[in-house]
């Protein structure tokens, strides 16, 4: 019984982790059909913000919850204005340019901080015991954070005027423009928000995964697969895909180990896409693209 509970928590954390690293990408993707391959680097930059801040005496929680999203959100804003906005509608070019951006970020961070970090931040909040098994309190905390974050996004989209405008632009940008909505401004805000969410995610994950210049590489692969499998609905898609793929990953990792758990995730995604080419929730890439 305890084992089951502990295992369930582990799997739940895996799902939450997947949702956390994917949400920022889903927001940008769902809204603007832009695949930002530098998304993993946004996560990485959030992590480095936390590391640098805490090394300079800033409180960990402040660094993770306030500083990281702010800094990376700002970086996202600059990226959107300087690069992304010239490439709207050119999907392949956006892919390539953001990949170049990703390499750029990795290069810059490596030049400044070196290829590895000596800073290790141990997870706060200690451990939680369930019978004979202990779970990390921080992981539990993260599960709650993800739930709150998803709820926040949902509420914003559904009940605020910003959310309404955003949804309108997402469904029909031309029409929104006719109604006087500055789609350029919406995209700018959306991209920055997506970046901020990514920065937050990266910062929150530092105590668990540490941070290296090329940690974004693993993030982007998983996040992309999750977002594509989820489909065009930002929340429903990310949530359902995270549950499915994270669940498979978690179960397989428990049975066979982490490496094959990741292979299982990829296989599950490929099969999912074979059965539902437009993702779980809707129409992303139709053949006519």
Under the rule (CB under 8 A), what is the footprint of another protein?
35, 83, 86-87, 91-93, 95-97, 99-108, 110-111, 214, 217-218, 221, 224-225, 228, 259, 262-263, 266, 270, 273-274, 277, 284-289
Counted residue by residue, the chain has a size of 289
Q: Which is nearer to another protein, 40 or 194 (CB)?
A: 40
Question: Taking the complex as a whole, how short is the minimal distance between the CB of residue 51 and another protein, in angstroms?
Answer: 19
Residue 118 DSSP label? -
Q: Which is nearer to another protein, 119 or 214 (CB)?
A: 214
Question: Taking the complex as a whole, how short is the minimal distance between the CB of residue 149 and another protein, in angstroms?
Answer: 25
Place of tokens 């309190």: 137
Question: Taking the complex as a whole, how short is the minimal distance between the CB of residue 263 and another protein, in angstroms?
Answer: 6
Q: Which is nearer to another protein, 135 or 209 (CB)?
A: 209
Question: Taking the complex as a whole, how short is the minimal distance between the CB of residue 91 and another protein, in angstroms?
Answer: 7
Q: Which is nearer to another protein, 251 or 273 (CB)?
A: 273
Q: Which is nearer to another protein, 3 or 112 (CB)?
A: 112
Interatomic CA distance for residues 281 and 133, integer angstroms: 37
End-to-end Cα distance, the chain = 50
Q: Which residues of 257-289 are buried (b: 16+ CB within 10 A; e: fewer)?
A: eeeebbebbeebbeebbeeeeebbbeebeeeee
Interatomic CA distance for residues 89 and 81, integer angstroms: 15
């Amino acid at each position: 019984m305890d084992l089951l509970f502990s295992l369930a928590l582990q799997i739940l954390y895996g799902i939450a982790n997947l949702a956390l690293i994917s949400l920022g990408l889903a927001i940008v993707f769902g809204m603007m059909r832009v695949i930002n391959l530098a998304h993993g680097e946004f996560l990485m930059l959030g992590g480095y913000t936390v590391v640098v801040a805490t090394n300079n005496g800033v409180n960990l929680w402040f660094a993770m919850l306030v500083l990281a999203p702010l800094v990376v959100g700002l970086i996202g804003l600059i990226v959107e204005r300087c690069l992304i906005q010239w490439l709207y509608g050119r999907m392949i070019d956006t892919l390539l340019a953001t990949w170049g951006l990703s390499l750029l970020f990795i290069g810059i961070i490596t030049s400044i901080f070196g290829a590895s970090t000596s800073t290790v931040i141990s997870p706060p909040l200690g451990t939680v015991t369930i019978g004979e098994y202990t779970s990390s309190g921080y992981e539990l905390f993260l599960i709650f954070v993800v739930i709150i974050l998803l709820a926040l996004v949902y509420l914003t989209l559904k009940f605020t005027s910003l959310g309404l405008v955003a949804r309108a632009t997402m469904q029909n940008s031309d029409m929104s423009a006719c109604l006087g909505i500055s789609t350029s401004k919406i995209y700018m805000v959306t991209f920055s928000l997506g970046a901020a969410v990514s920065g937050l995610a990266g910062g929150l994950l530092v105590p668990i995964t540490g941070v290296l210049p090329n940690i974004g590489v693993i993030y982007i692969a998983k996040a992309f697969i999750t977002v594509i499998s989820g489909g065009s609905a930002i929340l429903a898609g990310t949530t359902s895909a995270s549950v499915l793929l994270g669940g498979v990953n978690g179960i397989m990792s428990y049975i066979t180990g982490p490496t094959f758990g990741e292979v299982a995730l990829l296989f599950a995604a490929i099969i999912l896409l074979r059965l539902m080419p437009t993702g779980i929730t809707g129409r992303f890439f139709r053949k006519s693209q």
